[in-house]
Amino acid sequence: MAHAFNGRRFLGAVGLFTLATGLFAAWIGLHLGGDRMTLWVDDVVTPLAALIACVLCLRASARHSGRMRLFWTLLGGATAFWTLAEVVWGYYALVLNVEVPVPSWADVGYLSAIPVTVAALVVHPATSGSGTRKARWVFEGLVIATALLFLSWTLVLSPLWRSADLSTWAGIVTLAYPFGDVVIVFFIVLTIRGMTGGDRLSLWCLLAALLAMALSDSTFTYLTDVANYTSGSLIDTGWVAAYLGIALAAFSSQSSSAVVPKAEHYRPSLASLISPLLPVLIALGVAAVEVGLGHHLDQVAWLMALGLIVLVLARQGLMVFELFAPGRDVQGGLMQRLEHAALGGAGAAERPVSGYQAGGRGPR
């Protein structure tokens, strides 16, 4: 039987995962049952959430074929690494009853998951496009990734870079997490920009999950540097939310191949035109606040800010080239795009005007 998307089932899953995350956050935040019980809840629920994500990713791979099956299989492998790492972390904290060292065997699992996740995004069918549009998607991914790296560098990485001893494994591991998260975010943005339907909702869930993980990793890195992190902290909710978000992405994935555009004529939505600029505005706003407070932005931060401006200009130039490319009905095409944006395109994905390729439904 084919697995069709069911909005009621999806909303039910969202409600269940939201409730589970909320209960976990409340238990951790209130330390119900005392510190030891809180630690047990933390280090049991977190690997359980990762295991649920792993199982649902592998289940999603069985519903697909071709590159989509490989995508979900690799993502299942990444969540398997995360599950193993969480189990090892819990072994240190619950069985050995010691502070988890940095680096530890858990870091092997955490860091191994990063290249596997990137590999999954690389093989996704939506990344197989070509031409000017693909170049624009690459620039949009770079814009968002650079903005996130600027924020991470300004708020977390810069002080760590100055204080970390990169001649030791501990220093390298500490800095590897935020950099790895930025690479993952770049590829997930690139994948989402290449989708025109099908699993787009699933990919948005995946993006939200990976952003939650990136935020938790950066906070963990900062707290570890100031020796203020302990197992059972409230920020552990971020990892549970991330794992359950990946599980939700796998659960909502439709049993069909990705819709990969063939035609060259598209009508970009208003959201698709504006959304890549929002992280830039946030990053530049943070820079303005830092300068206004009298904080010094180092040379790396200024180079990132300059890079953001160059990338945004390049992205806008490619968009203009797309609109006025030779052989197109420029006036009609432009008016069609503006009309589409004005009449409700803000909530829609980029859609082909004509011609697309949709895969058939796979077995359950």
Write down the pLDDT at residue 188: 75
- What whole-number distance in Å separates Cα of residue 118 and Cα of residue 207? 13
| Averaged pLDDT, 117-138 | 74
356-357 and 351-352 as β-strands: parallel, antiparallel, unpaired?
unpaired
Q: Is residue 185 predicted with pLDDT exceeding 70?
A: yes
Backbone CA torsion sign across 62, 66, 68, 72: positive
The residue among 179 and 261 whose pLDDT is bigger is 179
Tokens at 204, concatenated: 């948005």
pTM of the model: 0.70
Q: How many structural domains are present in the chain? A: 1
Q: Is residue 49 predicted with pLDDT exceeding 90?
A: yes
Write down the pLDDT at residue 338: 47
Domain annotation covers residue 217: yes
Rounded percentage of the chain residues whose pLDDT exceeds 70: 67
Write down the pLDDT at residue 226: 62
Contact at 8 Å (CB) between 316 and 223?
no
Q: 123 falls in which pLDDT band (50, 70, 90)?
A: confident
Range scoring the smallest mean pLDDT among 71-75, 109-113, 225-229, 320-324: 225-229
Range scoring the smallest mean pLDDT among 16-20, 89-93, 98-102, 277-281: 277-281
- What whole-number distance in Å separates Cα of residue 111 and Cα of residue 177? 7
Which spans in the chain are helix H?
7-30, 34-63, 66-90, 105-123, 131-152, 158-163, 169-193, 200-225, 236-252, 270-274, 278-292, 299-323, 330-342
Domain annotation covers residue 353: no
> Based on the number of CB atoms within 10 Å of its own CB, is 40 exposed (0-12), middle (13-18) or buried (19 or more)?
middle
Question: pLDDT for 153-171, tens place per residue?
Answer: 777 667 666 666 656 666 6
**Domain with 90 in it:** 7-348
Q: 2 falls in which pLDDT band (50, 70, 90)?
A: very low
Domain annotation covers residue 202: yes
The residue among 337 and 42 whose pLDDT is bigger is 42
The residue among 260 and 145 whose pLDDT is bigger is 145
Domain annotation covers residue 361: no
Question: pLDDT for 6-15, tens place per residue?
Answer: 678 888 989 9
Q: 359 falls in which pLDDT band (50, 70, 90)?
A: very low
Backbone CA torsion sign across 309, 313, 316, 322: negative
Backbone CA torsion sign across 203, 209, 215, 218: negative
Q: 26 falls in which pLDDT band (50, 70, 90)?
A: very high
Q: Is residue 335 predicted with pLDDT exceeding 90?
A: no
Domain annotation covers residue 356: no
Domain annotation covers residue 74: yes
Domain annotation covers residue 293: yes
The residue among 292 and 94 whose pLDDT is bigger is 94
Domain annotation covers residue 253: yes
- Average pLDDT, rounded, for the chain: 75
From 304, 162, 160, select the one nearest 218 (Cα to Cα): 160
Rounded alpha-carbon distances, angstroms, from residue 309 to 142, 144, 180, 289, 312: 11, 12, 23, 18, 5
The residue among 304 and 112 whose pLDDT is bigger is 112
